Copies of this chain bind each other. A is one copy, B any other.
């Protein structure tokens, strides 16, 4: 949907090819500079930001839809992407007028008026997916209606449309609850990382602090990471060693749900 014409066509005829009443929203997590971040977009006509999202094609599996939508909005493919919750309780989502007005402002850019009976004004439940992305790999060709996009620190989230705040909150709780069962560290970190980086990641996701020495001891005792010969230059300080995951031991630990720290 990169031209005005295609965008207008979507508004006019989308209901023929997409399921109404149902959308997918993606919470894309990245990690950089000891901060957990979320990728957000800002649509035409709005000051508030949004999660990247879209609709499900009528003949497409749900998993395919989630991957396609993520790829369309962010050009990201082949990443860890997982469903976490379906949202259908928020009053905002039940309010047709509000839904209509939000879409109406967005599609004003392509001179399409979204009326009260337009399919985009209908009540829509949203299936939440979260993605784990290496912060540096992100390349964007924004869609026509997106005026701005970028990473946002998890603890400084800007005002958002619909119930996207609740969706992010739930995604974060899910991330927390799954960090010892799913390869969340692996997918948020680059292939080579330092101990302070992985340490700060676990602290950022879980929102508490761990003793540096005990954390390292646990990683090494379980054999989750391998020290490399390289070091990273970090300016006026001692150069930390780089590490990589030992995938065999890492996946074994995830299967057992072994906590890295308490």
Which residues of A approach B to under 8 Å, CB–CB? 19-22, 56, 58-59, 61-63, 65, 83, 85-89, 94, 123, 125, 127, 177, 181
Contacts and interface: CB of A to CB of B under 8 A. Distances in A.
Copies in the complex: 2
7 contacts: A19-B123, A21-B21, A22-B22, A59-B94, A61-B94, A62-B88, A62-B125
A181 B180 CA distance: 14
A62 B93 CA distance: 11
Contact of A21 (B20, B88, B127): B20
A125 B58 contact: no
A56 to B, nearest CB: 7
Given A56-B88, A62-B86, A63-B88, 20 more contacts: A19-B21, A19-B123, A20-B20, A20-B21, A21-B21, A21-B22, A22-B22, A58-B123, A59-B94, A59-B123, A61-B88, A62-B87, A62-B89, A62-B125, A63-B89, A65-B88, A83-B86, A86-B86, A88-B127, A177-B181
